[in-house]
Chains A and B, each alone.
Chain A
Amino acid sequence: DAGVIQSPRHEVTEMGQEVTLRCKPISGHDYLFWYRQTMMRGLELLIYFNNNVPIDDSGMPEDRFSAKMPNASFSTLKIQPSEPRDSAVYFCASRKSGVSNWALNTEAFFGQGTRLTVV
């Protein structure tokens, strides 16, 4: 399996532009998570999906951020308009739920991240 695939790996954009980050989870995984990593705030959960449905978006910082998961193999995180303070590394992760015991499948697999720079 290729693992969690994120694109692009690096993105540099000007303030005010729309940015779309993409994620392909591991096949068969039914949970998908978006995290943001910054020096100041560390790793923050933005949103997560279960079976393509958003479960918890309380970490999404503002209305400028939106995430979708149109199918089991693809998710996007969009920032519109982007601002310099959005500069960070954005990680996508996926996990497969356990059949009868959630503890058996707790490992989340992370993509390599997208480094976003907004200038």
Chain B
Amino acid sequence: AQSVTQLGSHVSVSEGALVLLRCNYSSSVPPYLFWYVQYPNQGLQLLLKYTTGATLVKGINGFEAEFKKSETSFHLTKPSAHMSDAAEYFCAVTLMDTGRRALTFGSGTRLQVQP
């Protein structure tokens, strides 16, 4: 079975500072990994995904994430936070080579951006 752990339910940064949201996964086979963002009273929107190929993945709104198999991690970063980045972020996983096509989500990290 697959799972993801997001370290830190709340992260607060100053505007212009580096954003780092942590995600570690557990799976017995190669994973597909995702980051979704949820704004208040909205559904989830895909930021980026890793399936195969390049381990550094760039997404929308200046976010990127790096798949590190040795560390079983897929941390989300952004060099400079903007006020509009305040939202909840979810890491998710599904597995290659299985019949399961649904995502398993982490518990989420709420990002606050201070002016």
Q: Which residues of A come within 8 Å of B, CB atoms?
A: 4, 31, 33, 35, 42-43, 45, 48, 50, 55-56, 91, 93, 95, 97, 102-104, 106-113
SS class, residues of chain B in contact with chain A: loop
A103 vs B32: C-alpha distance in the bound complex, in angstroms? 8
Q: Which residues of B come within 8 Å of A, CB atoms?
A: 32, 34, 36, 41-46, 49, 51-52, 90, 94, 96, 99-108
- CB contacts between A and B, total, < 8 Å: 55
- With a CB–CB cut-off of 8 A, which chain A residues contact B42? 112-113
- With a CB–CB cut-off of 8 A, which chain B residues contact A108? 46, 103
In the complex, residue of chain A having the shortest beta-carbon distance to the beta carbon of B53: A103
Tell me the smallest distance from the CB of B19 to a CB of chain A, in Å: 21
A35 vs B103: C-alpha distance in the bound complex, in angstroms? 10
